[in-house]
Chain A
Amino acid sequence: MTAIAQDREKQNLVQWIKKHSSTVASLGGLVFCIIFFTIGTGMKGESIWSGDKLSTLIGDVIVTALMAVGAVFIYSLGNMDVSIGRQVGLYSTMLVLIGNATGSLLPGILACIVVAVIIGIINGAAGELLHMYSVISSVVFMMVISGITTIIYSNVGSKNIILSGVDLSFFRSPVNMVIVLVIEYLVIGYFFYFTKYGKYARSIGANQTAAAQSGVNIIKYRVIPYIFLAFCLVTASLFQMGYTGAASDATGTGFEMNVMVSLILGGMPLKGGMKSRLSCAVIGALTFSLLAVGLPIIGVPTRMTFMIKAIIFLVVVLITCRQKSGPLPR
């Protein structure tokens, strides 16, 4: 290859990196964590890639990643859903109760899908139809579901309920977790990148007025992403409940913040738009879980792990999310 051609290639590479700096930076954060913990845990006589720890890592990642993949659709609209955690708690509870009553998971799954889709439709349509801030409907659902869950457990008479008589080994296998995540990623990825559902969702997030004037049915293409999220939440609930075979009134607490933090770490623009990427979900979830699993292995005291996570979060976002010019980002 001539020197000129080499130079041109180098320039193209530099330009590609500049254009995709956010992706590169978030991937860089993940790669750094992988290298750091590979070396660090090895020096402590453990390995983060041992069977046990890998299984712990996958178990840690799976629920957050499954939720986050669906949430990318919502965040690409420029929306935020704070009822995710409570929904997962509710669906886990429904799966256990219906599973115990019927001896099978299937009726519970169908019931959860119905409820999740209804909640999704209301969440998606309420803002536009009822002329209110879109986050309000999710705040409302967060509170209503929280109350309902407490009443359920109060009536059941126990803080924890377990599912018996159903084989849950499928949900405990790390291999199955990875396969399901990959399948979900491919399915949601197809809709997100190659169909109008994803394209319109991103265009609504970029500029809703322009999208409406281009003929996009705003209400319809705001609701459909929530339906995708609904299926993802039910899948996440299956794995959340399936690993322990149990649910409690606290299941799902804080999950919406885990999703948000994972997406941010993965480089997702929270105002949505055309730069939204599905890979943010998995990259961010993996990075956060690596920190949770790896820091104790290298001997960091538990209390310090919170501070280290916070500092790493700030460093990563300062690299991935910084906007150099224009008015202050919103």
Chain B
Amino acid sequence: MKKTLEILKRVAGTLMLPVIMFVIMKIMCDANGYTFFGTMKMWQALIPSIAVSVACAMGIGLQFKNGRFDFSGGSIMLLSAIIAGNVAKNSGTGSPLLFGALCIGLCVAFSVLVALVYVYGRLPIMIATIGMALLYESITSQIFGGGGINLVSVKFIKQLSAYPLVLIPLAGAVGVYAVYNYLTTTGKQGVLLAKNQQSAVNIGVNENRNVIISYIYSGLIFGFATIIWSSLGKRDAIFSSLATVGELFSNILPVFVGLYIGVFCGDTIGIIMGSISICLMKYGLQLVFKAELGAAISTAMMGLFVFLVNFVAGQGQNIKKLTGRLFGKQEPLKA
């Protein structure tokens, strides 16, 4: 009985946020005449956005969980998309496998390069990743005439970002993240390093090796994300410094939300639920508020939503006291 209750509590905690979000958006959309909200077609249309959000969040979240704030993810994805897209298009093979392999291979290579600069340059992680982001962004303006890449009309690539094939790279990203967290020593050592770096090193964790391997995994995840993201629209080269860092700050929101939901279900599913919640909110708000106001209001509301989630989760102990045993344990977060 107790075990069943525990399971029910966890399921409820996991689904609470996306379900509440769905219900609220459904009410708002129906009230404004958008009755297709919640239909199968809507989900089919939304899944590519959710897939990109999940994959990017996991790529960023993997390093974030290990105590590393990585600014280079956006630039890695863009540079990989431009190179992989141009090579795959010009190869004439029409092979999505070639494109996929290039995306993953390039993302891993660029991520490992970031790791090497961090490890052997012995620079603070933010500085190392900012420097590499600047470098990668500058390369995008030099290669292939600085024209970026447009894969929207390339059918053999575009199919990878549309339902149902988009589920393959999504599954890949989720799988890599789960394997890293639950099945690898590196993942577990990463948690040790995040909690107390010096102690972890003292007990024998090889930090250099751990970092490089973690970046291989985050590179794999970014590779899957790039497969989807690169053909959702035209991707321009960068001509102003650190323009891709905005990708970090918009994709890190599901990480923040997901790490709290993860108390109930582990952060793999937590991030998926967080992404779904945020995508639903964005979709619904843009429908209801329409036009230029829709995007603006959606951005502002997303910010407030993340604040609210973090506030509620941060008050976990207080709420637990107030309500009995509604929520699970929540460690107070360090600022």
Say if the beta carbon of A41 comes within 8 Å of chain B: no
Say if the beta carbon of A314 comes within 8 Å of chain B: yes
Shortest C-beta distance, B1 to chain A (Å), equals 33
From B31-39, B100-108, B130-138, B216-224, the one touching the partner chain is B130-138
Interface flags for B298-320 (1: CB within 8 Å of A; 0: not) read 11111110110011011100000
Shortest C-beta distance, A237 to chain B (Å), equals 20
Question: Is the beta-carbon distance between A146 and B122 smaller than 8 angstroms?
Answer: no
Partner of A141, one of B240, B297, B303, B310: B303
Residues of A within 8 A of B68 (CB): 330
A31 to B91, CA, bound (A): 48
Residues in A102-139 with C-beta less than 8 Å from chain B: 127-128, 130-134, 136-137, 139
Partner of A317, one of B127, B137, B306, B307: B127
Chain A facing B: main interface SS: helix
Residues of A within 8 A of B211 (CB): 328
The residue of chain B having its C-beta at the shortest distance from the C-beta of A322 within the complex is B122
A254 to B125, CA, bound (A): 20
Say if the beta carbon of B123 comes within 8 Å of chain A: yes
Say if the beta carbon of A18 comes within 8 Å of chain B: no
Shortest C-beta distance, B278 to chain A (Å), equals 11
A310 to B313, CA, bound (A): 39
The residue of chain A having its C-beta at the shortest distance from the C-beta of B313 within the complex is A132
Given contacts A142-B249, A314-B135, contact A322 B126 (CB under 8 A): no
Shortest C-beta distance, B230 to chain A (Å), equals 22
Total inter-chain residue pairs, C-beta < 8 Å: 166
Chain B facing A: main interface SS: helix
Interface flags for A32-54 (1: CB within 8 Å of B; 0: not) read 00000000000000000000000
A154 to B294, CA, bound (A): 11
Residues of B within 8 A of A146 (CB): 296, 299-300
Question: Is the beta-carbon distance between A306 and B241 smaller than 8 angstroms?
Answer: yes
Shortest C-beta distance, B63 to chain A (Å), equals 12
Residues of A within 8 A of B11 (CB): none
Question: Is the beta-carbon distance between B135 and A128 smaller than 8 angstroms?
Answer: no
Say if the beta carbon of A175 comes within 8 Å of chain B: no
Partner of A310, one of B117, B134, B332: B134
Say if the beta carbon of A84 comes within 8 Å of chain B: no
Partner of B307, one of A137, A311, A321: A137
Interface flags for A143-161 (1: CB within 8 Å of B; 0: not) read 1101110110010000000
Residues of B within 8 A of A82 (CB): 249
Given contacts A131-B315, A307-B139, A329-B123, contact A136 B134 (CB under 8 A): no
A148 to B311, CA, bound (A): 22
The residue of chain B having its C-beta at the shortest distance from the C-beta of A302 within the complex is B239
Shortest C-beta distance, B335 to chain A (Å), equals 3
Say if the beta carbon of B86 comes within 8 Å of chain A: no
The residue of chain A having its C-beta at the shortest distance from the C-beta of B118 within the complex is A328
Using a CB–CB cutoff of 8 Å, the interface residues on chain A facing chain B are 79, 82, 127-128, 130-134, 136-137, 139-144, 146-148, 150-151, 154, 208, 222, 254, 257-258, 260-261, 264, 269-271, 303-304, 306-307, 309-311, 313-314, 317-318, 321-324, 327-330
The contact sample of 10 A-B pairs, CB cut-off 8 A, is A82-B249, A136-B256, A136-B307, A137-B307, A142-B303, A144-B300, A151-B297, A261-B130, A303-B141, A306-B138
Contacts A132-B333, A154-B296, A323-B124 known; list 9 others, CB within 8 Å: A139-B252, A139-B303, A208-B335, A254-B243, A270-B127, A304-B142, A309-B134, A317-B131, A321-B124
Using a CB–CB cutoff of 8 Å, the interface residues on chain B facing chain A are 67-68, 117-119, 121-128, 130-132, 134-135, 137-139, 141-142, 146, 197-198, 201, 207-208, 211, 238-243, 245, 249, 252-253, 256, 292-293, 295-304, 306-307, 310-311, 313-315, 332-333, 335
